[in-house]
Amino acid sequence: MKSNAIVFVLLLGAAGLLLTAGAGPCWAQIDINIHTVTGPMESHIGNVTGYSQQGRAYYRRYCIGCHGPNGDGDGENAMWFDTTMGFAKPRDFTAAVFKCRSTPTGTLPTDQDLFDAMTRGFVTTNMPQWRPLTEDKRADLVAFIKSFSTKWETQKAGTPINIPPETPINIESILRGRELFQKLECWKCHGPEGHGDGPAASTLTDDKGNPIRPYNFSIGSRFKCGETNHDLYRIFMTGLDGSPMPSFADLIKPNDAWDLVHFLRTLQPLETPEAALWKPYFAAHGKEIKPIGPEAPGGGN
Amino acid sequence: MRFRLALMLALILLPGTAMLLLAVPPSSGMITGKVTYTGTPPKMKVIDMAKEPGCAKEHATDPVHFESVVTGPADALEWVVVYVSAGDKGSPAPAQTVRYDQKGCQYLPHVAVMQPNQPLEIFNSDGWAHNIHPMPKVNSEWNKSQPPGTPPIMAKWEKPEFIPVKCNIHPWMHGYFIVINTSHYSVTGKDGDFSLKGLPPGKYTVTAWQEQYTSQSQEVTIAGSETKTVNFVFKVLPY
């Protein structure tokens, strides 16, 4: 009798063990294999240091669905991003080419640039803001993203471009900026009114050959790479690498770039100080101002 | 005694051979040949430059065609880069600048060859802006605007790579920067002819690259200052 009870308990225990053991392989099956190409990476965001070994788990949790197990932007959701509808494909981290940088075109962004891009997300795309993640986690993710390309081992991040203090906002500055918009042919893509409908707009493609739209200033306040005057300054000076937007850093003098910022602000449907100056000015002098486009000086004809 | 004799002999012979080696005239081996095609080449479309009226006007009487497969008389294939891909000991980058021009919304030349770290100067001869957008994978990609009347863009490439170049404003503009580790190269013209000069004796791999088709290679051994002939034939498809 007693030995029967012992056998029963043993059998029960064995069954229990088998059941829990059976649960093990289930976890292994959803443990997607991530393919990185470098050793451990670090990121430095202010006083915070990020570690790629930590970021790996967060990447699997939050990023892998779009950016994929190889970091090449080919996650299982990527096929649903319709570029013809203006939705950019997820970033391919293996190319180490990034849109939002404080550094010159052709250089790697700083850790802070990647951190800021992840934090603010990319407006008009499927990339959300990641503010809900702690700064530590975001720093870890920045470190982990760098482990998809050996360029992070062989190259240093570029030196951020120098941005002088903002010049005063006045009509003269806006008018000078408007001249730059005409002369540098920004309108060829962004359109004479900044609606993103210039003559070259419909044929633009990114590096992967996917259709891409020039920014339409009339739709809102945020840009892909920020929303402040400083962000706007940085965007056209450094260019958005991997996209058709080139760098103008060699062409516009540092102070003059503020003029272009001030003009671009008037193209947005916002109550900005620039718009407050421009609207009454344009109402009074609109007829004297030459419309932007191919007929104006610098239009190519 | 015998040792002394050997030493004397060595003293005479060693510098002698060294001088002989130094006195060898510059390498004069040569590989020449022709690049042709078999099959029906695709018809190159006329480029519609209506979106840049200035360029359209410039080519109004003599329209420009796409350049991805350009043929010449007697089945010759143009814009093929023929180069020594193995066997060349390499040489430092020449200081001579490679000139790349944008004129009439075209890249001149369509294919530019250079060595790593050789200076490259990009000009805009048009009266309107272009953006120069080389798209390397190994080297660093960049994208710069170049409005008319602005100074040339200075560049160089660190590593060997075949780099497509485009202008996003004028999407028909397509060119190549061919960065290779050899000074022995040739780009075929209308006649499809090429010649690789100044080759010292040795065994070489000669490769022919065409942007649309798979590259081809042949082994060539050069002895003395002989000239060897190799030809490349690309199979082309009409689409």
Region B40-48: what's the mean pLDDT? 95
B124 pLDDT exceeds 70?
Answer: yes
Alpha-carbon span B66 to B41, nearest angstrom: 13
- Residue B141 CA to residue B8 CA, distance in Å, equals 61
CB burial of A236-247 (b: ≥16 within 10 Å; e: otherwise) equals bbbbbbbbbbbb
pLDDT in tens for each of the 301 residues of chain A?
566 777 666 666 665 555 555 444 444 445 578 999 999 999 999 999 999 999 999 999 999 999 999 999 999 999 999 988 878 899 999 999 999 999 999 999 999 999 999 999 999 899 999 999 999 999 999 999 999 999 999 999 999 999 999 999 999 999 999 999 999 999 999 999 999 999 999 999 999 999 999 999 998 789 999 999 999 999 999 999 999 999 999 999 999 999 999 999 999 999 999 999 999 999 999 999 999 988 765 554 4
Name the one residue in this structure whose structure tokens are 């078999």: B38
Locate B98 and state its tokens. 């490679």
Confidence (pLDDT) at B205: 98
State if pTM tops 0.90: no
- Suggest the residue from A155, A207, A238 to mutate for an interface test with chain B (most B CBs closer than 10 A): A207
Of B133, B144, B169, the CB nearest to A188: B169
Class of domain A171-285: mainly alpha
Separation of alpha carbons A241 and A160, rounded Å: 15
Residue B111: CB atoms within 10 Å: 21
pLDDT digits (tens, 9 = 90+) for B162-182: 999 999 999 999 999 999 999
- Shortest distance between the Cα of A276 and any Cα of chain B, in A, equals 31
CB contact under 8 A, B168 and A239: no
Residue range of the domain that includes B118 = 27-236
**Chain A residues whose beta carbon lies within 8 Å of the beta carbon of residue B137:** 95
> What value does the mean pLDDT of chain B take?
92
Residues of B in contact with A301 (CB under 8 A): 53-54
B6 pLDDT above the threshold of 90: no
Chain A residues 40-99 with a CB less than 8 Å from chain B: 95, 97
Please identify, in words, the CATH class of the domain defined by A42-154. mainly alpha
How sure is the predictor about B90, in pLDDT bands with cuts at 50, 70 and 90? confident
Chain B hits for A299, Cβ within 8 Å: 128
Three-state SS sequence of chain A:
CHHHHHHHHHHHHHHHHHHHHHHHHHHHHHCCCCCCCCCCCEEEECCEEEEHHHHHHHHHHHHHHHHCCCCCCCCCCHHHCCHHHCCCCCCCCCCCCCCCCCCCCCCECCHHHHHHHHHHCCCCCCCCCCCCCCHHHHHHHHHHHHHHCCHHHHCCECCCCCCCCCCCCCHHHHHHHHHHHHHCCCHHHHCCCCCCCCCCHHHCECCCCCECCCCCHHHCCCECCECCHHHHHHHHHHCCCCCCCCECCCCCCCCHHHHHHHHHHHCCCCCCHHHHHHHHHHHHHCCCCCCCCCCCCCCCC
Domain for residue B192, yes or no? yes
**Residue B211 forms part of a structural domain:** yes
Q: Could you tell me if residue B22 is inside a domain?
A: no
Residue A10 is predicted with a pLDDT of 67
Report, as an integer, the average pLDDT of B199-225: 96
* Residue A29 tokens, joined: 């099956």
CB contacts of B150 in chain A (<8 Å) are: 250-251
Q: Are A184 and B145 inside 8 Å of each other by CB?
A: yes
Residue B3 reports pLDDT greater than 90? no
Asked if the model's pLDDT at residue B65 lies above 70, the reply is: yes
Q: Nearest by CB to A300, which of B52, B132, B143? A: B52
Enumerate residues 163 to 192 of chain A having a beta carbon within 8 A of any beta carbon in chain B: 183-185, 188-189
What CATH number is given to the structural domain containing B134? Answer: 2.60.40.420
Are the beta carbons of B142 and A207 separated by less than 8 Å?
no
pLDDT tens readout for residues A61-100: 999 999 999 999 999 999 999 988 878 899 999 999 999 9
In angstroms, rounded to a whole number, what is the distance separating the alpha carbons of residues B23 and B149?
51
Whether B18 maps to a domain, the answer reads no
* Contact yes or no for A207 and B135 at CB 8 A: yes
The yes-or-no verdict on residue B40 having pLDDT over 50 is: yes
- A246/B171 touch (CB, cutoff 8 Å), yes or no: no
Average pLDDT over residues B136-157: 97
In a domain, B188, yes or no: yes
Q: Is residue B16 part of a domain?
A: no
A155 touches chain B (CB under 8 A): yes
Sheet holding B174-179, edge to edge: B111-114, B174-179, B161-166, B130-134, B144-146
Give mean pLDDT, residues B110-119.
98
Of B188, B225, B224, the closest CA to residue B206 belongs to: B188
Task: Select the residue from B51, B130, B144 to test the A interface by mutation, using most A Cβ atoms within 10 A.
Answer: B144
Question: CA-nearest residue of chain A to B131?
Answer: A246
Looking at the partner chain, which of A95, A251, A294 has a beta carbon nearest the beta carbon of B145? A251
Cα A192 to Cα A218: distance, rounded to the nearest angstrom? 12
Q: Residue ranges of the domains in chain A?
A: 42-154, 171-285
The nearest CA of chain B is from the CA of A100 a distance in Å of 13
CB < 8 Å to A294, chain B: 53
How many structural domains comprise chain B?
A: 1
Whether A199 contacts chain B with CB within 8 A: yes
